[in-house]
């Protein structure tokens, strides 16, 4: 939970947060922005959460919250209710990832086991959290369309869709993170927080290898 304030980390956070904002401000309909209406309830699948997951894995919890705040502003100036729902959804996902990270602790499971735990907890937190959040907020923000009863139905219908969106974010984020060459991740400071390991465990040999490649 350390705050990373070195210039390299700030630059990386700025780059990925800019990606988050761009995906929201300039979505590509049909590619980065897919609209569905399950049970008549509007829902959008997008890629916005992928950079947020990358930030969480590489830079930590606090940095990912900053990216979510950037996303909130990018949505909120034109659609405040949408920003509230989207912000809550991404926060629940990140809280699930944080829980998975804490459960893993100092253990050294395989990448597949770690990714599976992140996926299960991230999707579970998002689905349950948004079910609870939707119940009061849908009638508040959209009183003409939702009563308490219809909000319960809509929240239930959206559970599998929230699970799908969480899976896209987590799987996409982890895959893209590990597609970055290992030496570049180490040189960029991804996975390391103030001398301690963040989400990814880096061995002494990996750090020395990256240092040798610089000389």
Q: Quick check: is 2 in a domain? A: no
Token pair, residue 178, equals 């590990």
Contact 210, 189 (CB under 8 A): no
The number of beta carbons lying within 10 Å of the beta carbon of residue 24 is 24
| pLDDT score of 83 | 96
Residue 171 within any structural domain of the chain: yes
pLDDT in tens, 118-161: 999 999 999 999 999 999 999 999 998 999 999 999 999 999 99
CATH code, domain carrying 179: 1.10.1760.20
According to DSSP, residue 77 is labeled T
Residue 41: inside a domain: yes
* Residue 189: predicted pLDDT: 76
d(C-alpha 95, C-alpha 164), whole Å: 17
Instruction: Show the domain range for 200.
Output: 7-214
Predicted confidence pLDDT, tens digits, the chain (215 residues) = 566 777 888 888 999 999 999 999 988 888 889 999 998 888 999 999 999 999 999 999 999 999 999 999 999 999 999 999 999 999 999 999 999 999 998 888 888 899 999 999 999 999 999 999 999 999 999 998 999 999 999 999 999 999 999 999 999 999 999 898 888 888 777 875 444 434 444 444 443 443 454 44
In a domain, 169, yes or no: yes
Angstrom distance (rounded) from CA 71 to CA 159: 22
Is 1 inside any structural domain? no
* pLDDT at position 200: 47
Inter-residue contact 60 to 51 (CB < 8 Å): no
Number of H helices, E strands in the chain: 8, 4
* CA 168 distance to own-chain centroid: 10
Give pLDDT, residue 2: 60
Number of domains in the chain: 1
């Amino acid at each position: 939970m350390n705050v990373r304030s070195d210039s390299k980390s700030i630059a990386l956070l700025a780059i990925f947060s800019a990606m988050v904002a761009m995906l929201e401000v300039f979505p590509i309909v049909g590619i980065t922005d897919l609209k569905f209406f399950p049970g008549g309830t509007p829902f959008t699948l997008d890629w916005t959460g992928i950079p947020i997951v990358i930030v969480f894995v590489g830079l930590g919890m606090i940095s990912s919250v900053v990216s979510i705040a950037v996303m909130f502003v990018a949505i909120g100036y034109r659609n405040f209710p949408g920003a509230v729902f989207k912000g809550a959804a991404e926060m629940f996902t990140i809280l699930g990832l944080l829980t998975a990270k804490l459960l893993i602790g100092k253990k050294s499971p395989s990448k597949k086991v770690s990714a599976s735990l992140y996926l299960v907890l991230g999707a579970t937190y998002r689905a349950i959290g948004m079910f609870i959040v939707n119940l009061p907020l849908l009638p508040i923000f959209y009183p003409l369309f939702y009563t308490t009863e219809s909000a319960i139905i809509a929240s239930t219908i959206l559970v599998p869709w929230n699970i799908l969106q969480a899976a896209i974010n987590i799987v996409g984020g982890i895959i893209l993170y590990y597609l970055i060459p290992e030496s570049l991740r180490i040189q960029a400071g991804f996975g390391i927080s103030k001398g301690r390991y963040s989400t990814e465990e880096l061995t002494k040999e990996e750090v020395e290898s990256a240092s040798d490649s610089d000389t």
